[in-house]
Amino acid sequence: MRYLYSLFALFLLALAGCSAPNETAKGPVVLAAASMQEALDAAADAWADKGHPRPVLSFAASSALARQISSGAQADLYISADTRWMDVLAQKGLIVPETRAVLVTNSLVLVAPRSSAPDLAIKPGFDLAAALGGRRLAMANPDGVPAGRYGKQALESLGVWDSVETKIASGENVRVALGLVSRNEAPLGIVYATDAIADPHVKVAGTFPDASHAPIIYPIALLKTSRRTETKAFLAFLLSPDGQAIFAKYGFGGAR
């Protein structure tokens, strides 16, 4: 009798093992720059519509995500808003080097609440401080977040950083900066062109010349911690003409 009970117990364990979800067959976990949110959500939906498990998406500042990965966060793909944080992970041996590619590009703009005054002509020496009217300029943290660093580069290049350096309302990522302008808590903000498209409560008050800052490149790479079988296929989809068409719809540029 004890032998029969043992066989029955083994049968139940085997059955439980067969019915347990296969982690490797689930959708990939993607850690992506905050500015990718709408476009990557649309790409994930399109992928799921093809019969694949929908990827799990997590958005934050590229710097914050890179630190999470460095600290052991389990994920499959990383998309950064600049090459610097991808380089950090590459130097630590945390990405699969041969999978690294340029996913999309972006532009930098000055945004204002939709009901605000006329646009500004962004040129060397333009009076940004006067346009703020004693209030603050919203932007992502210029000391570590890509959008903030690009913004500071542009303002330094145009010779106006010193006039506004003490008037910065710094956000933990670009969407925080966008939100300050959207809610009229700041009269102006520096964000990506794609962020401006995503928020109906703001308008583009001016576009920064491409030459005023480093090229805004979004690299993507497979992480060494990846265990999900769908990951490489989803990466290929994002880089394919179908995937690129989705990003273009949301204002991103292709690889230059």
| Closest among 44, 104, 48 to 80, alpha carbons compared | 104
Which tokens sit at 206?
């001016």
Query: What is the band of 254 on the pLDDT scale with cuts at 50, 70, 90?
Result: confident
pLDDT of residue 10: 34
- What's the CA gap between 194 and 196, in Å, rounded? 5
| Confidence bin at 118 (pLDDT 50/70/90) | confident
pLDDT in tens, 11-22: 333 333 333 345
Residue 25 confidence (pLDDT): 65
pTM (predicted TM-score): 0.85
- Residue 4 in this model has a pLDDT that exceeds 70: no
Whole-number Cα distances in Å, 88 to 49, 151, 180, 195, 196 = 34, 21, 30, 25, 29
- Amino acid present at 253: G
Rounded to the nearest 10°, the torsion over CA 146, 148, 151, 156 is -110
Percent of the chain with pLDDT over 90: 86
Lowest-confidence region among 24-28, 107-111, 129-133: 24-28
Task: With beta carbons less than 8 A apart as the criterion, state whether 226 and 30 touch.
Answer: no
Evaluate if residue 131 carries a pLDDT over 70.
yes
Average pLDDT along the chain: 90
pLDDT in tens, 232-248: 999 999 999 999 999 99
Q: What is the pLDDT of residue 23?
A: 58
Q: Which domains does the chain have, with CATH numbers?
A: 12-105+217-249 (3.40.190.10), 108-207 (3.40.190.10)
pLDDT digits (tens, 9 = 90+) for 146-160: 999 999 999 999 999
